[in-house]
Structure 1
Amino acid sequence: MNREEVSQIRSVKQHNPQIYHVNPLPSSSSAGYLSDYGSDASTTRSYETPPSRISTPARGRVQDSDMPYPARPPQVAPAWNTSDRPNPLGQNRHVPDYDAPTPGVDDTPYIRFAIEQLTFDEDLTGRGRQSSADIDQPLTLPPCPQSPRRNIPSPTKRNPKQPPNPPFQFPRPSFEQQRRPQKGEVMLLPSDPPRDRHQLGYVPTPLRPISLGSLVLICLLMIVGLIFSNVYALSNHGIYDYDSNFSPRYFVFEYLPPLLGMIIILWLFVVQAAIYRTAPYFAMSKGAPSGKRDRTLQFMPIVPANFVLPDWGFFKLGEPAIGAVLIVFWLMNWTIPLLSCLYGTQWFTNVEPARFRWTPVQGLGWFVMVMYLVLIPALVYCMIHFRRKNSALMWDPNSLADLIILFQRSNILPDFVQSETKEDLAGELAPRYCRLGYWTTNRSLDFFYAVGEANQPYSELAASPARSANEKFDSSRLSADSQEGFRHSQASSFARMLHSPFVRHRWCPWFLRDGAVLAWAIAAVLLLIAFLVVSFVHEAVRDGFAGLIPAITQPNGFSPANFLYSFLPALLGMFLFLAWQPIDVYFRTVQPYVNLSEQYGTSAHRSILLSYNADLPGIVTLRALRNRDWKVAYLSLISLVASTIPVLAGGVFTALLFDNGDVRMVASMPGYIGLCILLGIYALSYLVIWPTRHRYLPHSVNTVAGNLSFLYASRLLKDSSIRNIRTKADFIARLDASTGTGLTGDGRKRHRETKDLGQESKFGFGIYTGVDGSQHLGIDRMQRPGSGEVLVVTTQQRGF
């Protein structure tokens, strides 16, 4: 080997480390921070690190001849001013001021990946890091320790009074532009129901005319009873003689009226639960889109929320009639305190002998009668609105599994891509005028049943993974490499969100947060102790206590003392009863997700087919016991038990005249002891409502969109064995069977066989591979039929 070859071998190519500034890409965590400096190109100065080592002239010549340098981008200015300093390497030495780490390869995707890694915690927790330096102070750089020193131009100082530059945002087209059909696309077209298909028009049982008519009949009977008692008491000096405060007559006049009223309230709860879960589908069953119905999936609730406070949401969603009906239902809750003080005792002297007699309070009787008269038109409207002609339902959509049939061939599923990790799902989805019914396409004669948007492109999820409306931007402003880097960054961020325990256990109602539950439990126990102490110290309740207000009954039957000590306890008891309902509803709603999160999954009947919110009071307790959902069983039982608290509280006190002429408020001890027991059970039940981690979800599931975000990519929507379903019974049998039964198979027989053999399909909630080949968080089968491969990694399997 000669000396020249050795000299060439020693000539090793080297690169000077440098920093290059590129236009920042939008990021969930860093876009707002970087845009303050990158949005204004005129005020931006670029800096480069000086060369770490000085190359020899020989090496410089080899480097210049062997490696061409790409041209500098026009937006990047030279960082160092070299015109006023001598060159230490000589005038014939050419030092390049731009040297890419890998010539010819754009390093933007790698920079994006580095930024995402640095902002990892911000993406997971939603809390950005804050610098200890004041952002209004001028940016200063440390002096370069190398020699000779280079003149570093000072950055432009920001004026404190000048507002910061707005964050850079890519232009977003309007929703109309985003959904504008392209020529040649397959379009979804509405169609009338074919004759050979199942006819639509299902109405849930609580909303059918026979059920609502029965409730109207009960209201009429209440009205007749109120009118009779008022008229009869005026003409007969009261109704019955008073005998004691623990007799059957006392029960009839003090406890029976609010008890009948509570039965009507519980019936109304069942009716409004049916209204909530079917109102979105009745809105989508209407013809031409109008009003504010483009946000039905995102905002219209399917979980009852009309308890302590009235629900005004339907007025904002273009359904004012339904909103008015719910307001009337809410007002009926307060008939219970009025019915508790409807009857009292009055001293009649115009009868022989003079004695106390039961008599109604005339004003309250007529007022409660008017309230029941107002309720009747609301029920009649429900019969008219929720009739078969206005329905496009095949059966009652009371479970998660029903979403499979309703959306398995929908054209709005691409809107839900990566929506399972969104906290504010309603604000992320584009408005859609959805329709429920039969469809066809412009390229096929096939008819199918689904929820979709008319005259819009119809494509599979894997073929068009469209982002949500708030994530779309004009990609023409980015180069091909930059677009690839952005997509890689989005996928990387979404993958981290899927596996983040913070995202998985993020949402829970405010009243069930740790601090709120602790406050409820402490307050309930303390109030219970105070109530018991005041009640039994010195036997004040049994011997009577001064009412502090007049107890004399007026000619119209009104007694201030009787009214106060009947209305106020019943009002407080009614508040306790209504305050428990959101807790009970929440546990019923999320129980399917709790069962799905079990380590080995669970059957369809214990998960996606659960319909606790649609079950009748008492039935839900028995069904939960059968499914071993102990907490739901207990809380639903307490909800039923709590309904008796306002009934007992409103009738336990009455004013009595003692032999010495004193008038005192005395409690009926049988009812009072029962009230104390019920209050004790109610107060201690707040210690049980502490939700476990598995009852937390990434976002609310109170809407159709909230539940659909966990199903949109599931292979259940592409399962051929559950296509063309015509009855709910056949759907349940096919869904719960371990293998498909075919379109003409006997689903019920197959279900019985697989259940006897213990081969029922298992479903889970966790990380799974969707129909688009990507990982998602949601619901899917634990195993494919006939395969032992586990498809879903549940929360318990992942250790959080």
Structure 2
Amino acid sequence: MNLVSDNNAHLQTVKQATPQYTKSDSLKSSSATNEYFSDYASDAASQKSNSKGYETPPSRISTPLVQHHPADSEMTLPARPGVTQPAPLNIRQPQTVRLLSSFDEMSPPTPGVDDTPYVRFAIEQLTRDEDVFGRGRDSAYPAQPAQYSPAAAPVFAEDSVETLTPSPPPPSPPQQPASPLAPQIQRKPVPQEVMIPVDLSKDLRKRLGFVPLPLRLPILALYLLLCLLMIAALIFSLIFAGTNNALFDYDGNATPRYFVFQYLPQLLGILLILWLFVIEAAVYRSLPYYSMGASHRSSWVLQDMRILPANYVLPDLTFFRNREPLLGITFLVFWFANFTVPLLATLYQTQWITNDGPARFRWTAFRGVGWTLVAMYILLCLGLFYCAVRFRRRNSNLLWDPCSLADLICLFRRSNVGSDFEQSEVSPDPDAQVPPRNLSLGFFTTSERPEAFHGVGEEYAPIKRLSFRPEKPKESPHPNESGDVEAQRLSYGSAFARNLHSPFIRYRWTPWFLRDSAVLAWIIAALLLTIAFLVVSFVHRAVQNGFDPQISSVTDSSGFSPANFLYSFVPTLLGMFLFLAWQPIDMYYRAVQPFRNLSQPTGATARHSLLLSYPAYGHLRVVTRALINRDYKVACVTFISILSLFIPVLAGGVFTAVLFSSDNKVRMVASMPGYYALCVLVTIYALSYLLIWPTKKRYLPHNINTIASLLSWLYASPLLGEVALQHVETKAELVERLTGSKATPVALTGDRDSDEKGRRARRAVRRLEQGGGVRYAFGIFTGRDGKEHLGIDRLQRPGSREMLVGLTSQ
């Protein structure tokens, strides 16, 4: 049959260009560069070229002008009997070949003539370019390597006429085993870029060595001084009470002296606990980076080391697993320090004194509890001393305190571990997916770029490009059945894409104690227990009139009274449980608030998202900063945490054994001012569980306890390639670059016009930030590899579409 009509009998030469890969989708971010685009085909080609030598295809495929006899030419089609010969071929300048759009353009077949040789010849000519350039765009199977010899290649002579004479059909190329990763083009391999550590000079060494403020030696020394003062006060009380027939006379349960002996000790103790929480938080967020030093190198810093505190109701024993046994013992001592508050509540008791003047009740100190507290505070001082040694300046390679998402971006923007996190943003446990790496923190350079930069990376390891390994196309069980070629071409990312756009994956994780069933259980339990507590307290004036302690209330010579000890230690212990149980809730709301702000449809500014660092602050500072930033729920939850610390303080000192002379009986009587305050605090605490139900914007795909879990939402983000975040040397400079305003006031220059212009510029920047400015979001964005990812990026970049933030209505 004829392949070309008589009116279109001109052959157009194919314009050959250098083989290249093209992408059809235009979701590429404006900040994406060729550095991050790669393909496994080119990688495989580079590997094959290392073993077989280097072959580069010509930039233009030319045809040798070899003249053949018309009868012997291999570029002649077999002539059909009774078919009119076509017009002579007119070779024009190279143009794009127009393929037949439908079978209607083809000449009708000749009856009785076998078309197989002609069909084979036409298919071979049509697929010849694909053999040269590689696999066709819509091919469902891998292309065969091009194997052509000059003798078998078709010859096109310019301005010549080819006569169509019968000849045997051209032989088909030998079959090669199909391989989806087999290279079709041999290219010279690109030299791998390797991260090389920089030998620290005196100037570079001076820039390193940052220690977070709570772990600095002067701050720890101040805390140690307070602990030593507590030890001194305890020893003085124990010695003085044993040699002077107690301390002071008892003058009632609503006096200043009663406050000093029954409320002040545990109040001082719990304030030290609050300060200890700040120190623990600094240790948690700093330990992974200190473990990247030369003397404390660990391969699991990203996956196993927590960055959020967890040493509250139960002790955190993960330090032993992370090969930090001394730090594990230190945190075990820190956890036992929580028991100092109940013990301080039982330290001072009333004792009936008869050998020092008239018989009367006097305040005395319980020697057994007192010496136990002295030993616990000494252990606490030793733990603090170890923290000062472990986190001293020379062990630090930090430039500033890494406590926010922006700090994480600066540390990992040029790291070579990004490829380890591919598709981890939708994984339920990214820590288990990331392989171990022997990482270090400091100044690096690369084999291709001479400038030095500060960051985290694996020494002498290549910087891998972001790429996704395409899955091998599955063979259809019915070979004769036609399939969706385009669907097969894109099937490798279909499961990952479905997970990205799945609301179930996006809103999958929250801590177990904040899941719907758990929060409902907390609310029911808190309300029922509060109602029972109030009923028992005020029915028949049981607390005010006193009740039988059921055990002996006599204070012995050592200052121990069973009744006073029981009704002081147990209520304080229950109050400490309520206080410690609220701390993980408070810490979760602090840590998740940046993601909550980023999950708004309009995104959030850097000051309210990337720069937020509530977990690093103390309780009072969190409340203040949250109110300024209008994060009212965080301020409310942290304020409840502050209020809850007074529950163990009041519960430990509200009951006292009193002798009623009317019936000569001892009853446990409550100090009513303190008891009323305790009832109010317990009611507020119980009702606060109604406020902790997290909304959808506080749900995440997985946990945020480790560096790896946070990097899973940043590894493909164009934020890692932001030019504005290059060569940042201080935290103040980072804040200035992200917010567009300086952290310090503008200094007056003496020039009125210049100062006025500076003020106007500063006000314009603030208005820009308040009115929108650069906004960031948590959602689906186009990553540095040109593919969709779930994570953090600018809400919209020039030349790209806006991020998909909300998958469902909020």
Q: TM-score range by the shorter chain?
A: 0.7 to 0.9
Q: Offset at 1:191?
A: 1.2
Larger radius of gyration: 2
| 1:145-190 residue CA offsets vs partner (Å, 9 max, x unmatched) | xxxxxxxxxxxxxxxxxxxxxxxxxxxxxxxxxxxxx994222111
CA contact (8 A) 1:299 1:426 kept: yes
**Equivalent in the alignment of 1:339:** 344
| Aligned pairs (5 A) from 1:134-145 | none
DSSP 3-state at the match of 2:533: helix
Distance 2:245 2:471 in 1: 77
Letter in structure 2 aligned against 1:782? L
Residue of structure 2 equivalent to 1:179? none
SS of residue in 2 equivalent to 1:776: strand
Aligned partner (choices 767, 771, 777) of residue 756 of structure 1:
767
Aligned match of 1:317? 322
- 1:248 corresponding residue in structure 2: 256
**Aligned pair partner of 1:662 in 654, 661, 665:** 665
Render the CA deviation track for 1:37-74: whole Å, top value 9, x for unaligned. xxxxxxxxxxxxxxxxxxxxxxxx9999759999xxxx
- Distance, in Å, in 1 between the alignment partners of 2:758 and 2:667 is 69
Q: 1:354 to 1:288 in 2, by over 3 A?
A: closer
Structure 1 CA distance for aligned equivalents of residues 221 and 500 of structure 2: 49
Q: Deviations over 1:610-652 (max 9, x none)?
A: 0100111111011111111111000000001101110100110
- Greater Cα offset, 436-445 or 377-386: 436-445
Q: How does 1:207-246 map to 2 (within 5 A)?
A: 207-246=215-254
Q: Secondary structure at the match of 1:569?
A: helix
| Counterpart pick for 1:430 among 426, 435, 439 | 435
Whichever residue aligns with residue 767 of structure 2, its letter is D
For the residues of structure 2 that align with 1:64 and 1:566, how far apart are their CA atoms? 106
Q: Distance in 2 between matches of 1:489 and 1:232?
A: 82
Q: 1:654 to 1:310 in 2, by over 3 A?
A: same
Per-residue deviation at 1:209? 0.5
Map of 2:32 onto structure 1: none
Could you tell me how far apart the structure 2 residues matched to 1:506 and 1:349 are? Answer: 68
Tell me the residue number matched to 1:553.
555
1:647-698 superposed Cα distances (whole Å, 9 cap, x missing partner): 1001100100001210000000000000000000000000100000111100
Which sits farther off after the overlay, 196-205 or 746-755? 746-755
Question: How far apart are the structure 1 equivalents of 2:430 and 2:759?
Answer: 38
Paired residues of 1:200 and 1:392 also in contact (CA < 8 A): yes
Structure with the larger RCO, 1 or 2 (CA within 8 Å, 6+ apart): 2
Q: 1:689 to 1:67 in 2, by over 3 A?
A: farther
Judge conservation of contact 2:140–2:488 (CA < 8 Å) in 1.
no
Q: By how many angstroms is 1:311 displaced?
A: 0.3
Q: Is the 8 A contact 1:524 1:683 kept in 2?
A: yes
Kept after mapping to 2: 8 A contact 1:734/1:751? no
Q: Find out whether 1:296 has 2:309 as its counterpart.
A: no
1:707 paired residue among 707, 710, 713: 710
Tell me by how many angstroms 1:753 deviates. 3.7
Question: Secondary structure of the equivalent of 1:783?
Answer: coil
Name 1:691's counterpart in structure 2.
694
Deviation at 1:490, TM superposition (A): 3.4
Partner of 1:795: 806
- SS across alignment from 1:573: helix
Name the CA distance, whole Å, in 2 between partners of 1:399 and 1:650: 38
Taking a change above 3 Å as real, the CA distance of residues 354 and 200 of structure 1, as seen in their structure-2 partners, is same
SS in 2 for 1:295: coil
Partner of 2:180: none
Question: Residues 64, 423 of structure 1: CA spacing in aligned structure 2 closer, same or farther, 3 A cutoff?
Answer: farther
2: distance between equivalents of 1:607 and 1:319?
32
- Give the secondary-structure state (helix, strand or coil) at the position aligned to 1:713: coil
- Native 8 Å contact 1:738 1:761 kept in 2: no
Partner of 2:528: 526
Per the alignment, residue 511 of structure 1 pairs with 513
Q: Secondary structure at the match of 2:716?
A: coil
The alpha carbon displacement at 1:211 in A equals: 0.6
| 1:195 CA displacement | 5.5
Letter of the structure 2 residue corresponding to residue 250 of structure 1: Y
What's the secondary structure of 1:791's corresponding residue? Answer: coil
Q: Supply the distance in 1 between the matched residues of 2:238 and 2:329 (Cα, whole angstroms).
A: 30
CA distance in 1, matches of 2:782, 2:339: 51
Closer, same or farther: CA 749–189 of 1 in aligned 2, 3 Å? farther
Q: TM-score, normalised by structure 1?
A: 0.73
Q: Distance in 1 between matches of 2:505 and 2:117?
A: 48
Q: 1:397 aligned to 2:407?
A: no
Query: For residues 117 and 503 of structure 2, what CA distance do their matches in structure 1 show?
Result: 49
When structure 1 is superposed on structure 2, of 707-716 and 509-518 the one drifting more is 707-716
In structure 1, the residue corresponding to 2:246 is in which secondary structure? Answer: coil
Q: Distance in 2 between matches of 1:565 and 1:69?
A: 99
User: Structure 1: which amino acid aligns with 2:538?
Assistant: F
Q: 1:190 aligns with which of 158, 182, 197?
A: 197
RMSD: 3.2
Give the drift of 1:196.
5.7
Deviation for aligned residue 1:513 = 0.5
1:751, CA displacement in angstroms? Answer: 6.3
Report the secondary structure of 1:689's partner residue: coil
Q: Which structure 1 residue ranges, 5 or more long, are not aligned?
A: 1-60, 71-103, 110-181, 476-480, 740-745
CA contact (8 A) 2:741 2:766 kept: no
**TM-superposed deviation, 1:760:** 2.9
* Aligned equivalents of 1:63, 1:597: Cα separation in 2: 69
Which TM-score applies when normalising by structure 2?
0.72
Choose the corresponding residue for 2:732, options 708, 729, 750. Answer: 729
Structure 1 contact 414–466 (Cα < 8 Å) conserved: no
User: Alignment partner for residue 626 of structure 2, among 613, 624, 627?
Assistant: 624
Quick one: which amino acid aligns to residue 755 of structure 1? R
Alpha-carbon separation, structure 1, partners of 2:547 and 2:592: 47
Whether the 8 Å contact between 1:420 and 1:778 is mirrored in structure 2 is yes
Q: What residue ranges of structure 2 are gaps of 5+ in the alignment?
A: 1-110, 121-136, 143-188, 475-482, 743-756
Letter in 1 for 2:694: P
108 and 561 in structure 1: CA distance in 2 versus 1, 3 angstrom threshold: farther
Letter in 1 for 2:498: R
Rate the CA distance shift 1:302–1:330 in 2: closer, same or farther, 3 A: same
Deviation at 1:485, TM superposition (A): 8.6
Q: How does 1:351-750 map to 2 (within 5 A)?
A: 351-461=356-466, 465=467, 488-659=490-661, 660-737=663-740
Q: Is the 8 A contact 2:209 2:399 kept in 1?
A: yes
Secondary structure at the aligned position of 2:362 is classed as strand
Note the C-alpha offset of 1:489. 3.0
Aligned residues: 615
> How far does residue 227 in structure 1 lie from its aligned partner after superposition?
0.5
Structure 1 residue 799: Cα displacement: 3.0
CA 597–63 in structure 1, closer or farther in 2 if over 3 Å, else same = farther
Q: Distance in 2 between matches of 1:247 and 1:351?
A: 23
754 and 559 in structure 1: CA distance in 2 versus 1, 3 angstrom threshold: same
- Give the aligned residue type for 1:332: A
Whole-Å separation in 2 of the counterparts to 1:63 and 1:239: 124
Task: Indicate the residue corresponding to 1:166 in structure 2.
Answer: none
CA deviations on 1:463-511 (whole Å, 9 max, x unpaired) are: xx267xxx999x9xxxxx9999988433111111111000000011100
State the secondary structure of the residue aligned to 2:569: helix
8 Å Cα contact 1:769-1:791 kept in structure 2: no
Q: Which moved more, 1:756-765 or 1:481-490?
A: 481-490
Whole-angstrom distance in 1 between the partners of 2:114 and 2:805: 58
Q: CA deviation at 1:354?
A: 1.1
Matched, 1:269 2:257: no
- Whether the 8 Å CA contact 1:294–1:433 is kept in 2: the answer is yes
> Against the structure 1 CA distance between its residues 321 and 490, is the aligned structure 2 distance closer, same or farther, given a 3 Å change threshold?
farther
Q: Which residue matches 1:123?
A: none
Residue 510 and residue 414 in structure 1: after superposition, are their counterparts in 2 closer, same or farther (change >3 A)? Answer: same
**Are 1:733 and 1:751, in contact at CA under 8 Å, matched by a contact in 2?**
no
Closer/same/farther in 2, CA of residues 486 and 698 from structure 1, 3 Å limit: farther
Distance in 1 separating the partners of 2:140 and 2:465: 34
Is the partner of 2:208 in helix, strand or coil?
A: coil
Note if contact 1:599-1:794 (Cα within 8 Å) is conserved in structure 2.
yes
